[in-house]
């Protein structure tokens, strides 16, 4: 459960770092996008390696559909966060999500406002509702996370 305060806290230094290094960030946008996408690809690889089932293609399709409506990555990172309760390495998740937050906030520093930060935190916390529900479909949450992350990666290269 320690990943929640760490991920929420990492937004503050991310914003400060992004505000202080605006000119340096403008030269490295390509590398920041690449870093974000590599981190998301590592998440996909770990999920597929640890819990692949053929039925997961259905939930990946659900995640792709959901990704058209919500392309904020923190919803899908929240889904991966609840996977840490069933065997996903919690320390690795916390480190990769912290690096993702640092690079993502730096990448989109011109659009970042406190309202957007609160929205990202709320999206990150929404999947924790699933912990209270007795879900007996182990392939649903990882597949939705993978499908949504595929859409986020596609959105990173859509020309903006």
What's the pTM? 0.89
- Answer whether residue 6 is part of any domain: no
Cβ atoms of 95 and 48 within 8 Å: the answer is: no
Domain that holds residue 56: 27-156
Is 12 inside a domain boundary?
no
Residue 126: per-residue pLDDT = 92
Residue 16 lies in a domain: no
pLDDT in tens, 111-148: 888 898 999 999 999 998 888 888 778 888 899 999 99
CB atoms within 10 A of CB 47: 21
What is the number of helices (H) and of strands (E) in the chain?
Answer: 9, 0
Q: Is residue 88 part of a domain?
A: yes
Domain contains 11: no
Q: What would the mean pLDDT of 59-64 be, rounded to a whole number?
A: 92
Mean pLDDT, residues 14-26 taken together:
84
- Domain assignment of residue 8, yes or no: no
Q: Residues 72-116: pLDDT tens digits?
A: 899 999 999 988 888 888 899 999 999 999 998 888 888 888 898
CA distance 149 to 41: 8
Residue 14 belongs to some domain of the structure = no
Domain count of the fold of the chain: 1
Greatest Cα pair distance, the chain, in angstroms, is 49
21 part of a folded domain: no
């Amino acid at each position: 459960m320690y990943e929640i305060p760490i991920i929420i806290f990492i937004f503050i230094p991310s914003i400060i770092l992004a505000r202080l290094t605006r000119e340096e960030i403008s030269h490295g946008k390509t590398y920041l996008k690449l870093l974000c996408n590599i981190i998301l690809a590592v998440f996909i690889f770990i999920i597929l390696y640890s819990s692949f089932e053929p039925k997961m293609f259905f939930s990946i399709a659900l995640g792709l559909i959901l990704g058209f409506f919500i392309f904020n990555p923190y919803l899908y990172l929240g889904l991966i966060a609840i996977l840490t309760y069933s065997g996903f390495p919690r320390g690795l998740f916390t480190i990769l999500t912290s690096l993702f937050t640092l690079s993502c906030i730096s990448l989109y520093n011109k659009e970042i406002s406190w309202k957007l930060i609160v929205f990202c935190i709320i999206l990150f916390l929404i999947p924790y509702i699933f912990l209270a529900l007795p879900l007996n479909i182990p392939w649903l949450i990882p597949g939705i996370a993978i499908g949504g992350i595929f859409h986020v990666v596609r959105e990173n290269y859509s020309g903006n």
